[in-house]
């Protein structure tokens, strides 16, 4: 005598589950309520954040330029100081009395 089939075709079982799941679609009516309002609020917030982040990005991108300017100023300043010191030494060598007079050492 044939035994009843206790292990049905797994593909058929899966198809049956899919069919049942298709029918039982989640109800999203409550979730959809006033969705546009929430979305618009988020968009406004995001636009504000984006405009702030643009300034932050621009600032960071300009940072190397500012750093280069500072380095250039430091180098220029040290060169000017060196030239002044050299000029002072020349003046001193040429005429020590004048130099001392300038400095009030006389």
Partner 1 sequence: MLGYPNAMVTAESSIPDEQLVAATLGGDEAAFGELAQRYKSRVFGVASRFARDAAELEDICQDVFVQVYFKLRQFRRDSPFEHWVLRITTYKCYDYLRKRRRDKSGISVDALLESGYEPSAPESPPAHPDLERLYAALAQLSPKERLVITLLELEERSVQEIAGLTGWSVANVKVRAFRARAALRKLLESKK
Contacting positions for partner 1 (CB under 8 A): 10-11, 13-14, 17-18, 20-22, 24-32, 35-36, 38-40, 42-43, 46
- Taking the C-alpha atoms of residue 4 and residue 1, their distance in angstroms, rounded to an integer, is 10
Among residues 6 and 105, whose Cβ is nearest to partner 1? 6
Among residues 13 and 90, whose Cβ is nearest to partner 1? 13
> Which two structure tokens, joined as six digits, stand for 72?
């250039």
- The answer to whether 98 and 91 are in contact (CB under 8 A) is yes
Shortest CB 29 distance to partner 1, Å: 8
Shortest CB 3 distance to partner 1, Å: 18
- The answer to whether 100 and 106 are in contact (CB under 8 A) is yes
């Amino acid at each position: 005598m044939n035994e009843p089939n206790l292990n049905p075709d797994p593909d058929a079982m899966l198809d049956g589950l899919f069919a049942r799941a298709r029918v039982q679609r989640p109800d999203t009516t409550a979730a959809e309520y006033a969705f546009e309002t929430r979305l618009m609020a988020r968009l406004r917030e995001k636009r504000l954040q984006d405009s702030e982040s643009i300034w932050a990005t621009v600032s960071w991108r300009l940072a190397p330029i500012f750093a280069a300017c500072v380095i250039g100023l430091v180098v220029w300043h040290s060169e000017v100081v060196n030239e002044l010191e050299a000029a002072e030494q020349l003046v001193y060598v040429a005429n020590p009395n004048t130099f001392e007079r300038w400095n009030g050492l006389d």
